[in-house]
Structure 1
Amino acid sequence: MQPARQSKLLGLEILRFISAIAVLFWHYQHFAFVADKPVDFVTEAQPLYGLFLVFYRYGFYGVQVFWCISGFIFFWKYRTAIADGAIGAGKFFVLRFSRLYPLHFATMILVGLLQLMYFAQRGYYFVYQHNDLKHLILNLFLASHWGLQDGYSFNAPIWSISVEVLVYLLFFVVLRLLGRSVWVSAAVLLACTLAKWQWGNQVLPAVDAVAYFFAGGMAAMAYGRWWSSRALNYALLGVVLAAPVGLYLANRPHDQVAPMFLLAYLPLLLFLLARDLRVPPRWQQGIEAAGNMTYSSYLIHFPIQLALALACNARGVAIPYRSVGFFALFMSLTLVAAYFLYRWFELPAQERLRRQML
């Protein structure tokens, strides 16, 4: 028996929002940059460090969480439809293009204009330096991190989406040509895992993205089959609770163990979080709103950082990034802007493109 398909996987939406917040914490260090390097930066001196230590130190892993959640949702929504031909390549492209491109294009242009103003003030760009014609073209085609780049450019957080676009292509081709067998997906995941095990951080980011995406997909397939098994759920809950403790006690450098740990851990976590959460309607609306604004918060936070840096330059003062008040200003501006961007720009643009193109 299959579980009822909710319009929203609320547990995954909560995790996605937490991951977006983690990325904001990780990128907060940008306020200490001069050109592309931090100057006199002390990680522990960031606001409320003791409270948010995990986010400040490991927030960059939010990207891997995004990839894994995307895999779960894509396998959950599209696996059967693509494999059976109900969704063709054209429709799949329109669904992805309308979801990702309008906000990417708008924030890319915004960052380009703000960077020109910053360069006029300082003689160098803010954080990301490769803002030339070549990288503009790469960004226009969402190809900013396909191996053709000289470095990060324009609204650089889009790099993870750029990589994920390649994963979408592989996902569609694998399902359409090789079918929806669990063994096909397992083979893709195994190949990426072996590459990661053999070459570590030398593998291309796309290999990482494919691994996490298909790991999430395997979790979705397992959930569709075994979601109702109480014994399995309790066993996985025990593993999910105990595994981080074991990782902490192992006291190994995170860059040695964290990537492979997450690759095994995240699918188990997603399996548990995917169940139908019964919450009051107001809570559900809040959770859905938080999940909806993750993409907009991901793409708007760097333009907001750049605007704040410009404002400090114009006043002739150093960026007070160690101030709790400044931290609260950055976070509140980002989240408020993300909320209204989704409602007033991202969603209307998506709906309009789909009406026109489908």
Structure 2
Amino acid sequence: MDTKRKVESLSFLRALAVLMVCFCHFGQPFSQDGNVLAGMFDIFHEYGKYGVQVFFVISGFVIPLSLDKGRYELKHYGKFLLKRLIRLHPPYLIALAITLVILVSSTVVKHIAFPETPSSIFLSLFYLHHPDSNPVFWTLKVEAEYYLFIGLFFLLLQKYPKATLAASIPLFMVISQTAVVEYIDLFSHLLYFMIGMIGYVMYMKGGKNWLEVGYITAIAVFTYLFYGAAPTIAAVATILVIMLYTGKVHQAFDFLGEISYSVYLLHFPVGVKLINLASRYVKPQYDILLFTFAVLFCLGVGYVFWKYVERPFSERSNKIKYGPRKTVSVEVAAAA
């Protein structure tokens, strides 16, 4: 496999994943609204949530690839975490503040008590709590735990790929079914990241990859048995697209993939609140128009947030280097 090519599919997959999550949350209010498209909205709500698995597989693939490209070593672990912190945490904190402002406004209008406390807000600063008004924040804790993990695991994966995969996959399968997951959320989802990591090994290795295909198959069987068909299909389809698609991606997907993190952070409090406010004035037969407007409005909000918040911090993160970089041309921005 040509490891110098740009992985064009990543932009498309990030765009698809964030749209799936938006469709999930925006479809729910309309799924029981008595309109002729209620069944379609119910499907959006039921299956759109598996865009999260798409994001996890992308992170599993992209982060090791970016570490490889940056000539990452153990001595760079602190820099790696700092890069991730600068890239992702300030936008999260600002999105959290926006979420709380929207929540305060809502409680004032409804004359109800504010559900958050100083303690819960403090915990939210470190991903240890998420407001009910923005439930998607739970995935950011998983991603943060993944960064702590991959900065160390990558060194084994890079130096001893066969032994590392052979030993770790059964181990992570067992751990995922133990009480450990009650304390470390990552282990409930690590197998999806592992699919992406195996894809990274295949990408760098090139040639015959039958052993790695066998590992992905084993994980797919396990996740199907324990988590169901839908998340398994989402994860396997993601790595297949990454590994097999070599064409170009339309610039619209490039754009949406670029702003996907910003859209993801704000779509729930902005979009769902917009739908809840407007639905009292919109007849059920026009639900599809309100749904479409909510999606487009959140994309616009996401773009503004990306331009003035996310991108500046991303540029600061990119200035931190580990050392001379390899010449692998690859898209290294990972979704959260």
Fold shared per TM-score above 0.5: yes
Give percent identity, aligned residues only.
21
Q: CA deviation at 1:353?
A: 5.6
In structure 2, what is the equivalent of residue 174 of structure 1?
A: 153
Partner of 1:141: helix, strand, or coil? coil
Q: CA deviation at 1:2?
A: 4.8
Alignment of 1:275-314 (within 5 A): 275=244, 277-279=246-248, 283-305=249-271, 307-308=273-274, 311=277
TM-score, structure 2 as length reference: 0.76
Instruction: Tell which deviates more after alignment, 284-293 or 347-356.
Output: 347-356
Letter in 2 for 1:299: L
Q: Quick one: distance in 1 between partners of 2:38 and 2:99?
A: 28
Does structure 1 residue 341 correspond to structure 2 residue 294? no
Letter in 2 for 1:73: V
Does structure 1 residue 162 correspond to structure 2 residue 141? yes
Q: 1:92 to 1:14 in 2, by over 3 A?
A: same
Does structure 1 residue 102 correspond to structure 2 residue 90? yes
Which digits, 9 at most, give the CA deviation of each residue in 1:24-72, with x for residues without a partner?
121125647xxxxxxxx62x85784555664321111211221111101
- Does the CA contact (< 8 Å) of 1:223 and 1:271 recur in 2? no
Which digits, 9 at most, give the CA deviation of each residue in 1:199-238, with x for residues without a partner?
8x98963212322112210122123223x56x97xxx8xx
Match of 1:73 among 56, 62, 67: 62
> What residue ranges of structure 2 are gaps of 5+ in the alignment?
323-336
Q: 1:28 to 1:98 in 2, by over 3 A?
A: same
Q: Quick one: distance in 1 between partners of 2:26 and 2:65?
A: 34
Q: Quick one: distance in 2 between partners of 1:267 and 1:288?
A: 22
- Does the CA contact (< 8 Å) of 2:60 and 2:195 recur in 1? yes
In structure 2, what is the equivalent of residue 115 of structure 1?
A: 103
Q: Quick one: distance in 1 between partners of 2:234 and 2:303?
A: 30
Letter in 2 for 1:136: I
In structure 2, what is the equivalent of residue 251 of structure 1?
A: none
- Does the CA contact (< 8 Å) of 1:108 and 1:154 recur in 2? no
Aligned-residue RMSD, C-alpha: 4.0
Letter in 2 for 1:144: H
Q: CA deviation at 1:112?
A: 0.9
Letter in 2 for 1:96: R
Q: Quick one: distance in 2 between partners of 1:255 and 1:266?
A: 11
Q: 1:205 to 1:353 in 2, by over 3 A?
A: closer
Partner of 2:235: helix, strand, or coil? helix
- Does the CA contact (< 8 Å) of 1:71 and 1:213 recur in 2? yes
- Does the CA contact (< 8 Å) of 1:31 and 1:305 recur in 2? no
Partner of 1:191: helix, strand, or coil? helix
Q: Quick one: distance in 1 between partners of 2:168 and 2:36?
A: 42
Q: Quick one: distance in 1 between partners of 2:143 and 2:228?
A: 17
In structure 2, what is the equivalent of residue 132 of structure 1?
A: 117
> What residue ranges of structure 1 are gaps of 5+ in the alignment?
33-40, 146-151, 248-253
> What is the aligned residue count?
313
- Does the CA contact (< 8 Å) of 2:47 and 2:230 recur in 1? no
Q: Quick one: distance in 1 between partners of 2:183 and 2:136?
A: 19
TM-score, structure 1 as length reference: 0.72
Letter in 1 for 2:59: S
Q: Quick one: distance in 2 between partners of 1:171 and 1:20?
A: 23
Alignment of 1:1-358 (within 5 A): 2-6=2-6, 9-28=7-26, 31=29, 42=32, 45=34, 48-51=37-40, 54-79=43-68, 84-85=73-74, 88-124=76-112, 130-144=115-129, 152-153=131-132, 155-176=134-155, 180-182=159-161, 183-196=163-176, 205-226=185-206, 258-259=227-228, 262-263=231-232, 266-267=235-236, 269-275=238-244, 277-279=246-248, 283-305=249-271, 307-308=273-274, 311=277, 317=280, 323-352=287-316, 355=319
Letter in 1 for 2:51: G
- Does the CA contact (< 8 Å) of 2:95 and 2:265 recur in 1? yes
Letter in 1 for 2:301: A
Instruction: Tell which deviates more after alignment, 135-144 or 262-271.
Output: 262-271
Q: Quick one: distance in 2 between partners of 1:356 and 1:81?
A: 10
Instruction: Tell which deviates more after alignment, 321-330 or 289-298.
Output: 321-330
Which digits, 9 at most, give the CA deviation of each residue in 1:92-136, with x for residues without a partner?
1222112211221111111111111111122447xxx85221221
In structure 2, what is the equivalent of residue 37 of structure 1?
A: none
Letter in 2 for 1:332: L
Q: Quick one: distance in 2 between partners of 1:4 and 1:356?
A: 23
- Does the CA contact (< 8 Å) of 1:193 and 1:211 recur in 2? yes
